[in-house]
Structure 1
């Protein structure tokens, strides 16, 4: 569900403090979110009709409904809701509007006398590093190059993060990527930041403060942190088929691997991942969409793989209750695609973290932050130029974090434990959200 689910999670946190929220959602998507609304008396879903754009399947409303190549058309369709959004805001007359990709929204809110915040359900590190605003002097009006992106922007906080050639190439190409209505995606980010009354991110001062300070100094407007948005305790049980399967294994022995809802692998990488899991000798549960070009998991498996791993390994193409799986005592390692929500879930659980960033600059920078800055996880090695990983590199990373005798693994486990205890310390998240709400009042 892209950003809708984490934004609703954030809305639940605000509603818990008594704030009334109108949540704009594509009409037929509402039913998929209804069960996650913990405060229906305070959070109201406002249906919006997403116009059909040529090239999109009928009924497509969100990025979850289409392959990655059609994401820009979803953005174009959402841009065409601008007039409807203005009419709804006139009627609702909220005090503030949160938005992310809709760079045109602050022009509407300013006209209506409403405040706006460009809010990202992401950590600020990647946005600060790649922001086109602070890099304008660097590029002198031209497109940013791989060489430009190799260096942090002027005034960026000290960091040990290094980017690989294939990552620089990918990000440089996305800088020019038209993401709906002919607007390059990073221009959407920059314009939204320039026009909004404030900027906001998921995160906490102790870890993310230097990066929001950097953006605040450049844009000369408040840049707020809403706290880490820790997962709420679940009020449902883990599905029986997964509970009974996990119960068969000893504590801390299972490797769980997940790649999010929008990041399918190519078949060759899909097979390398599974063969790497097989090599570890650990039981494993891999939750992944079928690889690109395949309709099912079964037809994409390596030859003889299913017979070799038998009951020790499961590859599943459907949705898994990730939070509950990670909380199961048998799970000892989590291989994540490095989306911000998954990173948070990993940090607050005891399973060790293996990082395999997939799609987007934020995933890459989340992985570097976890592996190089906080040193709480191990990143799977990839080819410098082609960005491909091997079964051996998967095996190596898992073995490091799961080996009690590994010095690197021991350091990572200790650091992870410290960060986990810090994030879960009494009243920590409450104080972050209280601070966010106080600063929000100052903006209003």
Structure 2
């Protein structure tokens, strides 16, 4: 008779962004349903409500994860419905980060109540592992940025220059991202003067990375050498679609398009385009004859209020000119269902980590238009893997212009030459590899976490 393993309680504590929360939730679901863990996920009310409405109602696996409310102050400029980065106006981001730091006592109380065996924490709360350590509880850092960006940034921190990074496909100006990260550090309580504010150094034995080792192995190995921690890749952590057939307007529209004929354009839920940027992408679409589905997002207080209407943001006459081949929407769109649709031929993306992971998982080539933070490195990774092309910026002012957007779209979608066939075939092979290995990678995560919990119990 097989010996029953002890069950351990794990508390997941992601940063307040959907691009962080949903990978944490997906890992929690998999550890809870197939391994010996009781999983808790801690976040603010608005984020927990989002989880309940978008996932719990459709996915029984998510019901196994227990949701825990984090109590955070609500200054006048940051009411509870803005305790999330989703649709947050950009000028309030630092306010959200500062306010989040004031939730330490709430998190400490949660730990006293739950008495977890392990905490899995995110980069913007360096105080979380310190609280855990004070209570004799091990903690693990889970990076949603992926091994490529993290290894480059660690190299930059350690050496002082990206010029000597051993993988020349990845590069950034030496003073670009570090300057922004230093600014964030000023708004983090208990941040150590160490890489990632001390998150990696305080992580017990291992660091989790939202990566596939079979895609980013050399970067994970280099990061391990720099950090002197074992890097354990979680796999892609793509949520399974509960509804295989969706009768929404978007899916009905896509059903009317032919195989690989349509460009999907989206810059995520937290990257808001200016009117000028929207106009340049529209110009690119005017100069390209392919079908397209374009999702344009506005901050929460502007969406649906009449402050920014799609018709007013787009160039005059654009919607009429493209009505036979284009659909433009401003509401939430089911991105994984869209990428999985046979009519989608490529994905014009800002290259947020979740977006590039989903594009690889569904075998869709990327036309990269990175905006900030780790997105340029994600775009470079897609080019290195041979599953993406990057839109050239205007050399004089460093912005995207319509002619270059059109050039990239036409190269990939209209000319349908060897470039496209190569992108598509490599994307499909990458998709097959990631899907084949994802269960194996989650099993490795589970084994490592179990070992740490068991060791701490002795």
2:64 alignment partner in structure 1: 42
3-state SS of paired residue (2:168): coil
Among residues 350, 368, 375, which one is paired with 2:380 in the alignment? Answer: 368
1:335-379 deviation per Cα after TM superposition (whole angstroms, max 9, x unaligned): 11111221122113244321111232x2111110011x2111111
Q: For 1:200, what is the secondary structure of its paired residue? A: strand
Aligned equivalent of 1:442: 451
Supply the distance in 1 between the matched residues of 2:410 and 2:175 (Cα, whole angstroms): 30
Could you tell me which residue of structure 1 aligns to residue 49 of structure 2? 31
Counterpart of 1:51 (choices 73, 79, 85) is 73
User: How far is 1:86 from its partner?
Assistant: 1.0
- Displacement after TM superposition at 1:402 (Å): 2.1
Structure-2 change in CA distance of 1:52 and 1:385 (3 Å)? farther
List aligned pairs for 1:141-180, cutoff 5 A.
Answer: 148-149=161-162, 151-152=163-164, 156-163=165-172, 170-178=176-184
**TM-score normalized by the length of structure 2:** 0.85
Comparing 377-386 and 15-24, the one that deviates more: 377-386
* Equivalent of 2:110 in 69, 76, 88: 88
Aligned match for 1:284, one of 259, 278, 292? 292
- Secondary structure of the structure 1 residue equivalent to 2:142: strand
SS at 2:214 equivalent: helix
**Aligned-partner Cα distance in 2 for 1:160–1:6:** 26
Residue pair 2:363, 2:430 contacting (<8 A) in 1 also? no
Q: Relative to 1, partners in 2 of residues 1:330 and 1:129: Cα closer, same or farther, differing over 3 Å?
A: same
Measure, in 2, the Cα distance between the counterparts of 1:408 and 1:28.
44
User: Aligned residue pairs: how many?
Assistant: 423
Q: Which residue of 2 aligns with 1:190?
A: 197
The 2-side partners of 1:399 and 1:268 are apart by: 22
Work out the CA distance in 2 between the residues paired with 1:258 and 1:300: 16
Show the counterpart of 1:17: 34
If the length of structure 1 is used for normalisation, what is the TM-score? 0.87
The answer for unaligned runs of 5 or more in structure 1 is: 140-147
Stretch of structure 1 that moved more, 194-203 or 30-39: 30-39
Q: Do the aligned partners of residues 393 and 288 (structure 1) sit closer, same or farther apart at CA in structure 2, a change above 3 Å counting?
A: same
Q: Is the 8 A contact 1:15 1:21 kept in 2?
A: yes
Distance 2:416 2:192 in 1: 45
- With over 3 angstroms needed to count, the CA separation of the structure-2 counterparts of 1:122 and 1:176, relative to structure 1, is closer
Distance 1:58 1:159, change over 3 A: same
Residue-by-residue CA offset, 1:255-292 (whole Å, 9 max, x unaligned): 11111011011211111112212221112110011499
**Residues 86-95 or 47-56, more deviating:** 47-56
Pairwise CA RMSD of aligned residues?
2.6
CA distance in 1, matches of 2:441, 2:257: 38
Q: CA deviation at 1:221?
A: 2.7
Which of 342, 349, 354 aligns to 2:367? It is: 354
Contact 1:175 1:185 in 2 (8 A): no
Once the two structures are superposed, what CA deviation does each residue of 1:306-340 show, in whole Å capped at 9, x if it has no partner? 22112321221110011112222222221111112
Q: Which residue of 2 aligns with 1:60?
A: 82
More deviation in 320-329 or 231-240?
A: 231-240
Mark the runs of 5 or more structure 2 residues left unpaired by the alignment.
1-17, 454-458
SS in 2 for 1:345: helix
2 CA distance for matches of 1:215 and 1:74? 30
Q: CA deviation at 1:443?
A: 2.7
1:317 and 1:111 map into 2 onto residues whose CA distance is: 46
Deviation at 1:81, TM superposition (A): 0.9
Contact 2:157/2:195 (<8 A) preserved? no
2:402 maps to 391
